Structure formats: C-alpha cells, structure tokens
Amino acid sequence: MHCPRCGQQQLSAETKFCSRCGFQLGLVSELLIHGGYLPQLADLYKKKTIFTRKNGIMLSLLWFIIFVPLLTSIFGAALNIEILGIICALIGVFGSFMIFVASLVYLGKAPMQFDMQINEPRVGNANTFYDQAKRGALPPQQNQPASSYIAPENTWKGADTGEFARPGSVTDSTTKLLKKDE
C-alpha cells in the first residue's frame, strides 16, 4: 500500500503510520475495507434537522397559500368582514416574504444524505483488494497492424493534410498591382 499523502510505499500492510510523513494509515485501510465509508460516522450521516433552508421556503409557501387565497376569501367573501380579509392578505404576502428571506439568509442547507449501506467488513487486508481489481493493468496486446485498420462507419474524416499547396509568390501579386497603376 502507498501513502495517499506522500506516495511512500509501505513495507507491510499492517503498518499504522507512514514512515515518511507520519500519516495514519489505519483509517485508509479501513476505508478500503468498508468501501469508502466509515461506520463510526454513521450517526453523523443519519442526523436530521428540521430547520433547513428547504423547509423554511416550504413554510413561506404554505404561509402564503393559507393566508392569501384561503383566509382572505373566507373573511372577505363568506363572512363579509372586509377588514379581516385585507389584514389576512397583507399578513400573508409580507409574512411569507419575510419567512422566505429569513430562511435564505439564516437557515443552512440540509446535511448531505448518503445512501451507502454499511457493508460488513470483508476478510483480508487492503492489499488483497488491489490485487483482485488489478488496477492500472494494461489491456492484452493486439496483433493487428496499423495498415489493416479500417475506421468504423459514419466517423468523421479530416482533410488529407499530407500535401500542402504552394503559396503564391508575393512578388507576383505586387507587380500586378504596380502595373495597374501605370
């Protein structure tokens, strides 16, 4: 295993610290065993909070829907109390706007939700996983010569740039211009 910080190759897989930079390698092997997830941090990932930016925006939308169309129409049209209808409309519009702005300014985003499931620890150390995956291995050699290669259908072909056209002489065009003036 190599140290992720300095790249020093370790002598054995049981090494807990890097011999060059002192980086703790126990966590690296544990991350590899559990598929990039530390089970000790499961409580942090499951922690939910109610006061988030998204919930604040939803509350402002709900506040607007309840006060403006619903209570305004009930007090204004059904009960014939016009002043309460006007007050409900004002409270609905300005209250929902204040809740919306406050949720954008003061409330934070919801914590990231990871859908990873906690895997049971696999038997073996981190080096066995690299051996199984054979990361960085080249594909097998092909014995097809380049001259027999045929491009697939419907592929773009660039212009043949093997032969360049000779540029015209600079003196030819300038002498033609000089002759026209005479």
* pLDDT single digits (tens) 150-162: 777 777 666 666 6
Residue 91 within any structural domain of the chain: yes
Amino acid making up residue 23: F
Q: Output the pLDDT for position 114.
A: 53
Point out the domain boundary residue: 69, 87, 106: 106
What distance in Å separates the CA atoms of residue 142 and residue 145, rounded to the nearest whole number?
9
Residue 10 within any structural domain of the chain: yes
36 shares its domain with 75: no
Angle, to 10 degrees, between the axis of helix 26-33 and the axis of helix 126-133?
50
Residue 72 within any structural domain of the chain: yes
CB 53 within 8 A of CB 107: yes
Type and span of the H or E element at 98: helix 82-106
What distance in Å separates the CA atoms of residue 2 and residue 6, rounded to the nearest whole number?
8
For the chain, what is the domain count? 2
Residue 58 within any structural domain of the chain: yes
Residue 101's pLDDT band (cuts 50, 70, 90): very high
36 shares its domain with 70: no
Residue 13 within any structural domain of the chain: yes
Q: Which residue has the tokens 């090494």?
A: 15
21 shares its domain with 62: no
59 shares its domain with 90: yes
Residue 167 within any structural domain of the chain: no
pTM recorded for the entire structure: 0.40
Torsion, Cα 33 36 40 46, to 10 degrees, reads: -140
22 shares its domain with 58: no
First to last CA, the chain: 84
Amino acid making up residue 104: L
What distance in Å separates the CA atoms of residue 31 and residue 11, rounded to the nearest whole number?
19
Domain that holds residue 97: 53-106
92 shares its domain with 68: yes
Q: Output the pLDDT for position 121.
A: 47
Residue 98 within any structural domain of the chain: yes
- Looking at the chain, the whole-number percentage of residues with pLDDT higher than 70 is 66
Point out the domain boundary residue: 87, 106, 125: 106
Residue 177 within any structural domain of the chain: no
